[in-house]
């Protein structure tokens, strides 16, 4: 009879589930966030693993000491990719990591090492795109607001970037997909749940957006028009966030 581990859906919870598997040397059939495994399985017992911050912290230091800090970061990024099946891949990756140490990242001929690397890269790439594609709008009242639709859960990765660079500016980055937001009024950003929000642009904002659209049109060289290249580099799924792209998209 196999086992399915069920965790709370957060990274800490996952670390606790991983820690349990690694310590007991068991190979669970699957590791699932709560909710996803609700339909149950005839052939496996579901075991709920409680999230325990201390256990998660211990696991973090063990990974840093016995594998590498880089490996821990990679696990976090792979987790944030939200890809299905990532939990078991991360488990396999760490199991090998505890055997061979920091060298685990060289084992690229193994599927799970590549899978973890690719998922982590996808998250990092998505975070980088958000650093470029987020557009803040100035609202009545002086708050800058940026809606975000990202494929991976990158809010925590991008918020510090904007906290550093937009010094003295109050802002919100609203993750529309996951219903939460980063809020910054000087200092460290805080994270809050935020389902939906109706925003009122101020008059000045409309003018600045118009100027940006004028610029966007003016800078293209007509003789070199190349929409396919443009879409390769800036996929259409992001266009809704961009104020420079005309409405029909």
Applying CB under 8 A, the residues found at the interface with other proteins are: 70, 73-74, 77, 100, 103, 105-109, 111, 114, 117, 120-121, 124-125, 127-128, 131-138, 144, 146, 162, 164-169, 208, 210-212, 214-230, 232-234, 242-244
Report the side by side order of strands in the sheet with 2-7: 30-33, 2-7, 44-48
Question: Which residue in 77, 61, 62 sits closest to 115, CA to CA?
Answer: 77
Provide the terminal-to-terminal Cα distance of the chain, rounded to the nearest Å: 51
Smallest gap from Cβ 53 to other proteins, in A, equals: 25
Smallest gap from Cβ 3 to other proteins, in A, equals: 30
Cα–Cα distance for residue pair 157/131, rounded to 1 Å: 10
Cα–Cα distance for residue pair 143/140, rounded to 1 Å: 7
Q: Which residues pair with 182 in a beta bridge?
A: 173, 191
Cβ closer to other proteins: 24 or 103?
Answer: 103
Helix ranges, the chain (H): 11-24, 53-66, 69-80, 86-100, 111-133, 155-165, 203-218, 227-233
Q: How distant is the alpha carbon of residue 94 from its chain centre?
A: 20
Smallest gap from Cβ 129 to other proteins, in A, equals: 9
- Cβ proximity of 29 and 3 under 8 Å: yes
Antiparallel, parallel or unpaired: β 137-138 and 171-175: unpaired
Smallest gap from Cβ 185 to other proteins, in A, equals: 15
- Cβ proximity of 89 and 112 under 8 Å: yes
Cα–Cα distance for residue pair 146/114, rounded to 1 Å: 34
């Amino acid at each position: 009879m196999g086992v399915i581990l069920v965790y709370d859906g957060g990274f800490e919870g996952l670390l606790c589930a991983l820690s349990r598997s690694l310590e007991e040397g068991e190979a669970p059939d699957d590791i699932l966030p709560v909710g996803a495994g609700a339909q149950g399985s005839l052939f496996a017992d579901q075991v709920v693993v409680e999230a325990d911050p201390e256990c998660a912290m211990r696991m973090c230091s063990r990974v840093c000491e016995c594998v590498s800090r880089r490996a821990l970061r990679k696990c976090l990024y792979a987790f944030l990719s939200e890809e299905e099946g990532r939990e078991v891949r991360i488990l396999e990756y760490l199991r090998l990591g505890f055997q061979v140490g920091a060298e685990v990242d060289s084992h690229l001929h193994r599927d799970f090492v590549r899978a973890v690397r690719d998922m982590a890269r996808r998250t990092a790439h998505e975070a980088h795109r958000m650093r470029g594609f987020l557009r803040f709008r100035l609202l009545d009242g002086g708050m800058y607001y940026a809606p975000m639709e990202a494929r991976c859960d990158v809010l925590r990765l991008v918020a510090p970037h904007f906290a550093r660079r937009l010094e003295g500016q109050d802002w919100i980055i609203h993750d529309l997909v996951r219903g939460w937001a980063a809020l910054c009024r000087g200092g460290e950003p805080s994270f809050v749940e935020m389902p939906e929000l109706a925003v009122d642009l101020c008059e000045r904002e409309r003018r600045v957006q118009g100027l940006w659209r004028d610029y966007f049109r003016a800078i293209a060289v007509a003789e070199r028009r190349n929409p396919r290249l443009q879409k390769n580099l800036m996929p259409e799924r992001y266009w809704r966030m961009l104020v420079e792209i005309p409405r029909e998209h």
